[in-house]
Structure 1
Amino acid sequence: MTQTPRRVIHTGQAMVDLVLEVDHLPARGGNVMADRATRYAGGSVTIVVAAARSGAAAVLAGAVGTGPNGDLVREVLEREGVEVSAPPVEELDTGVCVVLVEPSAERTFVTTRAAERRITAGSLATSAAAPGDLVCLSGYTLFEPTRDPLLAWVEGLPEGVEVVLDPGAPFATFDAGLVERVLARTTVWTSNAAEAAELTGVEGSPADLCDAVAARLPEGAVVVVRDGPQGCAVRVEAETTPVAGFPQTPVDTNGAGDTHTGALCAEVAGGRGWVEAARRANAAGAIKVTRRGPATAPTSAEVDDFLASR
Structure 2
Amino acid sequence: MKKYQVVGIGNAMVDVLARAEDAFLAEAGVEKGIMQLIDMDRAVDLYSRVGPAKEVSGGSAANTIAGIAHLGGRTAYVGKVKDDQLGAIFAHDLRAQGAGYETAMAPKSEEAETGRCIVLVTPDGERSMNTYLGVTEFLSADDIDEDQMAEAEWIYLEGYRFDGPDSHAAFAKAVAACKGAGGRVSLTLSDPFCIERHRDAFRDMIRDHVDLLFCNRAEMRSMYQTEDFDDALAQAASEVAIVACTDSENGVHVLAEGQRWHVPAVPTQIVDATGAGDLFAGAFLWGLTNGHDLQTCAMMGNVAASEVISHIGARPEAHLKALFKGQGLL
TM-score, normalization: structure 1? 0.88
Aligned pair partner of 2:63 in 22, 32, 46: 46
Give the Cα separation in 1 of the matches to 2:63 and 2:75: 11
Correspondent of 2:122 among 102, 116, 138: 102
Greater per-residue helix proportion:
2
Match of 2:323 in 1: 303
- Residue pair 1:95, 1:115 contacting (<8 A) in 2 also: yes
- The answer to whether residue 91 in structure 2 is matched with residue 63 in structure 1 is no
1:166 offset after TM fit, Å? 0.4
- The answer to whether residue 186 in structure 2 is matched with residue 164 in structure 1 is yes
Unaligned runs of 5+ in 2: 30-45
**CA distances 1:156-205 after superposition (whole Å, capped 9, x unpaired):** 23343221110122343145542332112111101001100111234345
Shift in Å, 1:55: 2.5
Alignment of 1:122-201 (within 5 A): 122-125=142-145, 128-130=148-150, 133-157=153-177, 158-159=179-180, 160-169=182-191, 170-175=193-198, 177-183=200-206, 184-201=208-225
Q: CA deviation at 1:4?
A: 3.2
- C-alpha distance in structure 1 between counterparts of 2:146 and 2:253, whole Å: 34
Contact 1:17 1:99 (C-alpha < 8 Å) held by counterparts: yes
Shift of 1:303: 2.3
Distance 1:213 1:69, change over 3 A: same
Of 227, 237, 240, the match for 1:203: 227
Tell me if the contact between 1:55 and 1:300 (Cα under 8 Å) persists in the aligned partners.
Answer: no
Assess if the C-alpha contact under 8 Å between 1:85 and 1:127 holds in 2.
Answer: no
Rounded to whole Å, the distance in 1 between the matches of 2:226 and 2:304 is 28
- CA–CA separation in structure 2 for the residues paired with 1:10 and 1:96: 18
Percent identity (aligned): 21
C-alpha distance in structure 1 between counterparts of 2:68 and 2:263, whole Å: 20
Does the CA-based 8 Å contact 2:2-2:151 persist in structure 1? no
- 2:271 is the counterpart of 1:251: yes
Q: Does the CA-based 8 Å contact 1:8-1:59 persist in structure 2?
A: yes
Partners of 1:181 and 1:194 in 2: CA distance: 20
Segment of structure 1 superposing worse, 81-90 or 231-240:
81-90
Residue 22 in structure 1 maps to residue 20 in structure 2: yes
Deviation of 1:210 (Å) = 2.7
Q: Deviations over 1:184-237 (max 9, x none)?
A: 2111101001100111234345x654323123x25xx11011011221011111
Report if aligned partners of 1:209, 1:225 keep a CA contact under 8 Å in 2.
no
- The match for 1:85 is 102
Conservation of the 8 A alpha-carbon contact between 1:41 and 1:295: no
Stretches of structure 1 that go unaligned for 5 or more consecutive residues are none
| Structure 1 stretches of at least 4 aligned residues deviating more than 6 Å after TM superposition | 30-33
Question: Amino acid of the residue matched to residue 319 of structure 2?
Answer: T
Q: Kindly indicate whether the alpha-carbon contact (under 8 Å) linking 1:136 and 1:165 is maintained by their aligned counterparts in 2.
A: yes
Q: Distance in 2 between matches of 1:294 and 1:262?
A: 12
Question: 2:120 is paired with a residue of what secondary structure?
Answer: strand
2:149 aligns to what SS in structure 1? coil
Counterpart Cα distance in 2 of 1:174 and 1:106: 23
**Higher mean C-alpha deviation, range 224-233 or range 127-136:** 127-136
Local SS of the residue matching 2:148: coil
Alpha-carbon distance change, 293 to 29 in structure 1, aligned in 2, over 3 angstroms = closer
State the number of aligned residues. Answer: 303
- Secondary structure of 1:293's aligned partner: coil
- Matched residues in 1 for 2:215 and 2:165: separation? 23
